[in-house]
Amino acid sequence: MDNRSEVREFLISRRARLTPQQAGLPAWGGNRRVAGLRREEVAMLAGVSAEYYARLERGNLSGVSESVLEALVRALQLDEAERAHLFDLARAANAGPRPRRRSTPQQIRPGIQHLLDSMSDAAAYVRNGRLDVLASNRLARALYAPVFDDPVRPVNLARFRFLNPRAHDFYPDWQESAHTTVALLRTEAGRDPYDRALTDLVGELATRSEEFRTLWAAHDVRLHHTGTKNFHHPVIGRLSLPFEAMPLPADPGLTLTAFSAEPGTAAHDGLTLLASWAATSEQTEPAEQQDRTRTVDNRSTGPG
C-alpha cells in the first residue's frame, strides 16, 4: 500500500465531508466547486500556509511535526480512530519505504487458550488485525458456526463477510457490519502497511467484491472496543449480544473479543440455548464418526 496515496486520499476524504458551517466558517458565496472545505480553509483552520497544507495533501507527511498533526486533527474534526490513523500514516512516512514482509504465523500461548476455555458463559475468540480468528472456545465456535464451516483457513471474518453468500443471512445488519469490517482493516493497514498477508487479503476482497471496493474507497477507520452485535444463527435464530474487545498487551496485535450477557435477559437466554446446542453437537459428532468408521470397516471385510 503506497503511503503517499493513503495520506492523500485520507485527507481529501476528511476535508470533503466537513462543510464550512460545521467548521464554523461563513459559507462564502453560493457557487462553491466543492461540497466540503477548500484546501485554503483547512490551512487557515490548522494555522499553516496554503502551500504547506497542499504539500501534505499531496501525500507528503515526511518531517511533519506532532503539533502540525494535532492542528490537522482539530481543523478536520477527526475522531479518536481517525487521529490515530493520521499519526500511523505519519510514522510510516517518516520510517521510509520498506519492502512488504511476509507475516510469521502468530502463536497463541497455552494460557490464552486456557483462558478462553474457562469462559464457559461467554463466546470468546482471539483475532489479529487482519481479522483472522486464531483461537476460540466452544461457545464462540457454536456462535460463529457458519464462519467455521467455511473450509478456507485461516478462519477470517472479513473474507466470510464479503465472499460467502451465507454472510447476508448470518448478519441481519450486513451493511453496517461490512462497514465496520472494512474500517477495521483500513485501521490495521495504517498501523502495519507492509504486512503482505494484509495486502493480499485486501487485494483479494477488492478483486472479488464490489461492496468491499466501495467501502474501502471511503477511507473510514474505526476503533471497535464495545457494543452489540446482531446475528441470525442457523439453529438458534436471532441473537443480539453485547461484546467487549480487549487488546492483549503481552501479545501485540491480538485482540480478545467476548460476548456475554446478564442473567435474565433475552441475550443470556440465547447464549444458554446456544451452549446447550453446542454440547449436543459435540456429543453427536463422535458418534457419527464412529458410525462412518464401522461402515468403512464392514465394506472392507465384505465380499470382494
Average pLDDT over residues 200-222: 97
Whether 291 maps to a domain, the answer reads: no
Task: For residues 128 and 251, state if they share a domain.
Answer: yes
Higher pLDDT, 36 or 96: 36
- Higher local confidence (pLDDT), 295 or 207: 207
User: Is residue 294 one of the residues assigned to a domain?
Assistant: no
Whether the predicted pLDDT of 284 surpasses 80: no
Percent of the chain with pLDDT over 70: 88
Q: Is residue 65 part of a domain?
A: yes
Give exposure, 156-185, as e/b (b: 16+ Cβ within 10 Å). bbbbbbbbeeebeebbeebeebbbbbbbbb
pLDDT over 80 (residue 303)? no
Q: Which of 31-35, 71-75, 134-138 has the lowest mean pLDDT?
A: 31-35
Average pLDDT value for residue range 11-24: 94
Residues 80 and 147 in one domain: no
The domain of 164 spans: 110-284
> Which pLDDT score, from 0 to 100, does residue 107 have?
84
At residue 300 the predicted structure's pLDDT band, cuts being 50, 70 and 90, is very low
Domain count for the chain, please give it: 2
Q: Say whether both 125 and 191 belong to one domain.
A: yes
> Does residue 34 lie in a domain region?
yes
Question: Tell me, what's the pLDDT at 299?
Answer: 47
Band (162; pLDDT cuts 50, 70, 90): very high
Question: CATH number of the domain that 68 lies in?
Answer: 1.10.260.40
What mean pLDDT is predicted for residues 49-69? 96
Distance between the two ends of the chain, CA-based, in angstroms? 61
Has residue 101 been placed in a domain? no
Nearest to 188 by CA among 252, 125, 94, 250: 252
Q: Are 39 and 53 in contact (CB under 8 A)?
A: yes
Query: Amino acid identity of 104?
Result: T
For residue 189, the surrounding DSSP H or E stretch is helix 174-191
Is residue 221 within a helix (H) or strand (E), and if so which, with residue range? Answer: none
| pLDDT at residue 30 in the model | 59
166 in a structural domain? yes
From 30-39, 142-151, 155-164, 220-229, the region with the lowest mean pLDDT: 30-39
Residues ≥6 apart with Cβ < 8 Å to 41: 20, 23, 25
Domain ends where: 95, 127, 160? Answer: 95
Mean pLDDT value across the chain: 90
Band (pLDDT 50/70/90 cuts) for residue 249 is: very high
Least confident of 7-21, 99-113, 248-262: 99-113
Q: Are residues 178 and 222 in the same domain?
A: yes
In terms of C-beta density within 10 A (0-12 exposed, 13-18 middle, 19 or more buried), how is residue 87 classed?
A: middle
Shared-domain flag, residues 123 and 240: yes
72 belongs to a structural domain: yes
Mean pLDDT of 159-179: 97
Same domain membership, residue 117 and residue 74 = no
pLDDT of residue 304: 41
Under the banding of pLDDT at 50, 70 and 90, the label for residue 95 is: confident
pLDDT at position 99 is 59
Residue 114 shares a structural domain with residue 84: no
